Chains A and B, each alone.
Chain A
């Protein structure tokens, strides 16, 4: 049994402990330890990605031992880690973005020690969510993320940081207690039907998704459970009408934290649906699919329209996230091979582009100390390199062919056309709106006459380039060679899709 997933998950935690032991004025050492303890998981997740067997059906790199086992109580919680095609890309994405986030936070001056310690704790939580195959363990990691995020937004954030932090905290906590109740529902189902599912396995996500087991989750009760879980995940995605925490959190959070929020945390909602809701409760998922499609549609169109109305650059990017995450929902609702693939790939591509966008917003905010779109203008002359990279990020986000978002969004639209024709057509307008606000924004920020007050603004520096270039390269690479990632996901997504499809036929 290899322990690579444990290492990926807990090296940041170790790094955090090391940082806590360092004296607080040793800022360089603190930064060095952070780099090291995010670089190592990144290296390991790359090797994981290379070793990953694309054709294999089950979980890979599984680690399994009993965490808590009380025979008399019939309750077992496992320490079970493993990855499949759904989680593999996200582990990689988390590794990349956490590593880059350390560099994006290099200039933090206030409370350096606390900042990096929390950032590393956050990475442990995120990795744990993507790796865990036990519901309880999943839940623990899911909540472990909340605390560092609360402090990172609340201490290092913008003017309304306290409001944004507590709002984020309360929304997500509300969602997660619903998850907790759903988790208990599985346990009691197992207790009542021990011949179908041993109560000792009631939290095992692989066992729950087993064909014999999931067939017993039928009826109104499980539809209610599905809705509870859906709300729990929807808050993270965020799905309209649970999205209102997102603009606040994004706008107030420091750059690196916005990157993590948009790049990884939003993906957790969709990942939760793909890992738990759809494969374990396929019948309820099939029943809920039309609603999910409708919510996705609202997300896409509403997000795009609101983004268009924003005056704050960061808020615009935040709402564009709402819009883009809608594609994931539509794709999952349609449940065809292409649509599923698109939804899962969208998580990865949006993770890359939104991270880039937030980094870029951070770059300009560091220089101009404001983000009001209409006050910029003519930056193309002062910051040519910056303009170039922004062009790439904007084009990727609005879905230009040849860049990665085009692939994922096109797959979603292609795949869902048969299932939800009207929805798909309206969703496609979201892309047009997207092109609208991105191009309009580009025009107002970079075009036009150069403004005197920005004449002294330096172009992107080496550190910023270091964070932006890898993301840009991946955006282009996956745009022209998406199979590098798609092949990883195919088999696992097919499993999910089959589960839901058979439930649809059966019911």
Chain B
């Protein structure tokens, strides 16, 4: 069953899928810790877009919007903690490159 509107749902889904793919690509391609965190942000936002789009088009209530707001909130918290840790790393190693972290092996 197709769900076509003036701006069909598929558009949103495609954008979100592209965002997700970009996020994954960033994670794979970049070794800088900050850049990797930015990749994670892309993934989170792709999910947010999905939530809001589905909520608007197929579900018809605000539960998806609600979810998206929570995600934004937690993403901020997560970013704060992650950056704090990155600063700690920078103080100890002088670098935030993931390849430089080789103290733990086995």
Q: Do chains A and B touch in the complex (CB under 8 A)?
A: no
